[in-house]
Amino acid sequence: MSAQATPVGGKLLTPTMKGLLILVGIAAVLLLWRFAAGLGAVTNLSDGYPWGLWIAFDVVTGTALGCGGYAIALLVYAFNKGKYHPLVRSALLASALGYTLGAIGVLIDVGRVWWTWKLPLFFWTWNLSSIQLEVALCIMLYTFVLWIELSPAFLEQWAKGPESFLKRFAAAATPKIMRAMPWLIALGMLLPTMHQSSLGNMILLAGPKLHPLWYTTWIPFLFLVSCVGMGYGVTIMETMVSRTVYKRPGETRVLAGLGDAMVVVLLAYVLIRVGDTIWQGKLDYVLAFDVFSILFLLEVLLHLVPAFMLMNKAKRTDRTYLFRASLMIVFGGALYRFSAYWFAFQPGDHWSYFPAIPEILITVGLVAFEIAAYITIIKRFPILTGAPPATAKA
């Protein structure tokens, strides 16, 4: 087994890939309709629920699912745990794709997309009180940072290839990027700290429309720690699945080691979430056993149970056990975001929202696109470690 990352290789147009491309195609057709006829034609969004599935899932949850690169980088660089280095590249790829998905999701969702180019450029019109401005600029910048952080994977591959423009480009760009890398890595830890916390604060502007159980000034902290937890969870799941599918037997022990960090963030989340709720005198809402109290309890359980599961250092090296715990964290974090941005957002009884079928199919198409891109890139570029020695040399 090698610590060196290598391309997986193999045919690209597999039946799985064809299936994914069909889903992407359906979404593409629906998108033409969306841009020709307006948002009302393909979505169930309304003046009461101006944000729906696309913001709650594609953007708010999608970018949190893309926090693997951030979470692993914190461990490797801020906390100096070099043993997790082999996970960095695949985590970065999933993150770059997750954030790209979020960015595409925004471009589909905004009504007046033709002015979006002004946002990063017209700094003199920036409203510095707008929390969303910070989120938008940070996400834009971080998406670029992620692809540059990942770029050595592409450059290495191009440098090995036959003489071409790409090979010359790789030779010229690699030293420059390597010199800038420490600064980029630090930026790659700063930006998510900023926008993932602001993503929580952002929804507080809904004020009285947000259910009291989610309205707390601790929300920036909660969004931040939970995105780190989700980052580890996603990285574990992604690593396990890709290694199983592409036969790269990995060290489950290394993945299980992430359990320590996960226990810390999960317990921090539960402590603040529950403590703050009690401190603010909101227990009545928890004990109401209505839909909101159930959402809250489920959310806390989905953080607490995996925390206890991962405290068991012997059991957590079991693949199924570790996978289940990770899945719970991802679901818990996603539920928290869906609640804050959708379920617990109450514009009033005369409004209701459930996504329309085209709306759902567009999100499905985006996810299919992300998976297709992931498969293509790991097959052609050195992302995954752990190749058997024979292929590692090739």
Partner 1 sequence: MNISRRGALKVAALGAAAATGVRKAEARERLVPPEDATGMLYDATLCIGCKACVVACREANELSLERESTLYDDAIDLSGHTANIIKLHNGDEGYAFVKQQCMHCVDPACASACMMGSFQKRDNGIVTWVPDKCIGCRYCQIACPFEIPKFEWDSPLPRMVKCQMCLAKAGSTDPGQLQDGKEPACCEVCPREAVIYGDYDDLKQEAQARLDANPDRYNPRVYGLDDMGGTQVLYLAPAGVEYSDLGLPEYGPDSVSHIPVGLQHKIYKGFVAPVALYAVLAGLTWRSRRQEDAQAGQEVES
Q: How far is the CB of 111 from partner 1 (least distance, A)?
A: 3
Q: Which residue has the tokens 């999608």?
A: 62
Please report how close the Cβ of residue 131 comes to partner 1 at its closest, in angstroms: 5
Residue 281 interacts with partner 1 (CB under 8 A): yes or no: no
What's the rounded Cα separation, in Å, for the pair 275 and 273? Answer: 6
**348: alpha, beta or left? (left if phi > 0; alpha if psi -120 to 50):** left
Asked if 175 touches partner 1 (CB under 8 A), the answer is no
Q: Please report how close the Cβ of residue 90 comes to partner 1 at its closest, in angstroms.
A: 18
Dist. CA 198–CA 135, nearest whole Å: 6
Residue 117 CB, shortest distance to partner 1, in Å, is: 9
Residue 176 interacting with partner 1 (CB under 8 A): no
Q: Is 36 in the site for partner 1 (CB under 8 A)?
A: yes
State the nearest-atom distance from the C-beta of 211 to partner 1, in Å.
14
Question: What are φ and ψ of residue 85, in 5° steps?
Answer: -55, -40
Residue of 253, 261, 218, 234 whose CA lies nearest to 76:
261
Tell me if 132 sits within 8 A of 52, measured CB to CB: no
| Least gap, CB of 74 to partner 1 (angstroms) | 8
Q: Dig out the tokens for 393 from the structure.
A: 């040399």
Where helices occur in the chain by DSSP H, the ranges are 15-37, 39-42, 53, 62-65, 68-73, 88-109, 118-121, 131-160, 165-203, 219-245, 252-279, 283-286, 291-311, 319-338, 357-380, 389-393
Binding of partner 1 by 340 (CB under 8 A): no
Closest separation in Å from C-beta 321 to partner 1: 27
**Token digits of residue 48:** 């009461």
Binding string, residues 192-231; x marks residues near partner 1 by CB under 8 A: -xx--xx--xxxxxxxxx-------xx-xx----------
In terms of Cβ atoms closer than 10 Å to its own Cβ (0-12, 13-18, 19+), residue 62 is buried
- Which region among 43-51, 61-69, 97-105, 378-386 touches partner 1 (by CB under 8 A)? 43-51
Q: How far is the CB of 114 from partner 1 (least distance, A)?
A: 8
Compute the distance between CA of residue 70 and CA of residue 59 in angstroms, rounded to an integer. Answer: 16
Contacting partner 1 (CB under 8 A), which of 2, 26, 51, 298? 51
Binding to partner 1 (CB under 8 A) within 121-140 occurs at 122, 125-127, 129-134, 136
Determine which residue in the list 9, 25, 115, 253 makes contact with partner 1, applying CB under 8 A. Answer: 115
- Closest separation between CB of residue 245 and partner 1, Å? 30
Which residues in 346-365 contact partner 1 (CB under 8 A)? 347-348
User: Which is nearer to partner 1, 205 or 297 (by Cβ)?
Assistant: 205
- Residues whose CB is less than 8 angstroms from the CB of residue 284 and which lie 6 or more positions away in sequence, other chains included: none
Q: Is 388 in the site for partner 1 (CB under 8 A)?
A: no
Cβ 185 to partner 1, closest distance in Å? 5
User: Smaller CB distance to partner 1: residue 158 or 223?
Assistant: 223
Question: Which residue, 336 or 341, is less far from partner 1 as judged by CB?
Answer: 341
Does residue 32 bind partner 1 (CB under 8 A)?
A: no
- Residue 238 half-sphere exposure, CB side, CA atoms within 13 Å? 30
Residue position matching structure tokens 């604060």: 201
CB 150 within 8 A of CB 93: yes
CB nearer to partner 1: give 80 or 320: 80
Q: How far apart are CA 230 and CA 225, in angstroms?
A: 9
46 vs 174 by CB, closer to partner 1: 46
Q: Which of 390, 257, 264, 389 is nearest to 329 (CA)?
A: 264
- Report which of 88, 106, 119 is spatially closest to residue 188, judged by C-alpha positions: 88
Contacting positions for partner 1 (CB under 8 A): 35-41, 45-48, 50-51, 74, 76-82, 85, 106, 109-113, 115-116, 118-119, 122, 125-127, 129-134, 136, 182-183, 185-187, 189-190, 193-194, 197-198, 201-209, 217-218, 220-221, 345, 347-348
